[in-house]
Amino acid sequence: MTCVHPLKTNLPKPAYFTDPFCYEPHPLCLLAAAEVKQELVRMPLTEGKMFGVLVVEESEKLGFLAAYSGLLEGRNDWPYFVPPVFDAQQPDGYFKTKEREISLTSHLSPLSTKTMSQELQLWLFQQYRLLNARGETKDLVEVWQDYYNTPRIRSRYPLPPGGTGDCCAPKLLQYAYLHHLTPVCMAEFWWGESPKSLIRHHAQFYPACRGKCKPVLTWMLQGLDVDPHTDTAENAHQEPTIIYEDEAMAVLNKPAGMLSVPGKTDAPSVASWAQERWPGAMTVHRLDMQTSGLIVVAKTMETYRLLQEQFVNRTVKKRYIAIVEGVPQAEHGIIDLPLSSDPLNRPLQIVDHENGKRAITEYRILSSSPMGRRNIALMALWPHTGRTHQLRMHCAHSEGLGCPIVGDELYGRKADRLYLQAQAISFVHPTTGKRMHLELPYPFEQIFPYQ
């Protein structure tokens, strides 16, 4: 039974194959996803799940493949969808048979049980024989260790985590290569309720996970002409503006899309810009790349030390403003929601009530207004702690405000920018000892007029 579904359309193909980690769904993928969603409505689903589509070409005719991540309702054999790269769920297969043996003897020797489980997991990884567009094959362990090929990184990531190779994208590409189909474009979307720790919105498109899929897709995409990265190029020409400056320090207004400190690419950052202007200068704190607003730069090590001390002691006061989708129920309140990084999908954060670090945000609704079919609200946000993505998570998560910031492509919906600005900051000047307060004018007048 073929898993290729017809796609009747005159839409042109994209010039490049999708970069699965940074993309806007191509119109062909939107058509394919719409077909899959009609199928999902008819299915007896009780769990939220990531689904994917891969538009393919065969004999100059377009079609599409569909997949789900991992198991769906405990099964991996649903018709309409491509099969797994390797089927470990067969009751009488080697994996399930060995798994039962280990379970039955686990009480006799815990150490031996652990060794046997590790050996079985290694065997399972080696059964995932992953193809790329050149027709080359490597097993999952080879793919993983070739990607993490330095001793320091290899010691940190010796083997893949469980479930690697079972996400949508590897399943789709593997089926296409095995059946000599030409991949055209790809997209993934979430369907159903969000998990409690993560933020997933029903029917919304998402990039592939980096923790499990980055090494795998780096291999499987070889031989395809993949769309070049565009995530930092759009804002590379922008520069910060100086709001305040003296001999010891400066306060800058960072544009949205500019890094605070140098990243993995050569994209400009506030830190590199400041060092060119004031040799030896250092940024005292950071803002997310897509967040605009006030950032403090120290010109000397002594100034840096004194300002850092204030941040550590939480005597620096910051106010952000944001436009969020929806209107929170309470006009004013405190969000106390612990966060930790998602190790398999950095830089995403998750709500972690067991091991997360405490994160506290005060908020107030300044105004609300209709925007198309949705209501939006202008918010003032005061972070009392400084966790990664704290404001974005506290706004978006259902245990917080449940109202993602407009333009938050990680936790909400992508727009022309992230509508979050570090608008005001106050601290003690490291030299004069006087309290300083700096504030930017309101920046979102075009989308949300506010007086």
Give the active site residues.
288
Q: Where does 25-150 have alpha helices with state H?
A: 27-41, 94-105, 110-127, 140-147
Under DSSP, the state recorded for 255 is P
347 upstream amide cis, omega within 30 of 0? yes
In Å, how far are 6, 86, 126, 264, 334 from 169, measured between CA atoms?
Answer: 19, 14, 19, 24, 39
Residue among 206, 148, 56 nearest 140 (CA): 148
Distance (Å, rounded) from C-alpha 47 to C-alpha 65? 21
Residues 138-141: contacts with CB within 8 Å, 24+ apart?
138/219, 140/164, 140/165, 140/216
Residue among 238, 229, 285 nearest 257 (CA): 238
Write the burial class of residue 281 (CB in 10 Å: 0-12 exposed, 13-18 middle, 19+ buried): buried
165-167-172 Cα angle (round to 5): 90
| The two three-digit tokens of residue 237, written as one number | 């020409």
Write the burial class of residue 446 (CB in 10 Å: 0-12 exposed, 13-18 middle, 19+ buried): exposed
The helix/strand/coil state of 206 is strand
Distance (Å, rounded) from C-alpha 293 to C-alpha 296? 10
C-alpha atoms less than 13 angstroms from C-alpha of 72 in its C-beta half-sphere: 26
| The two three-digit tokens of residue 228, written as one number | 């070049």
> Which amino acid appears at position 170 of this protein?
P
| The two three-digit tokens of residue 11, written as one number | 């839409």
Which residues, in sequence order, are CB contacts of 180 under 8 Å at separation 6+? 58
Beta bridge mates, 296:
251
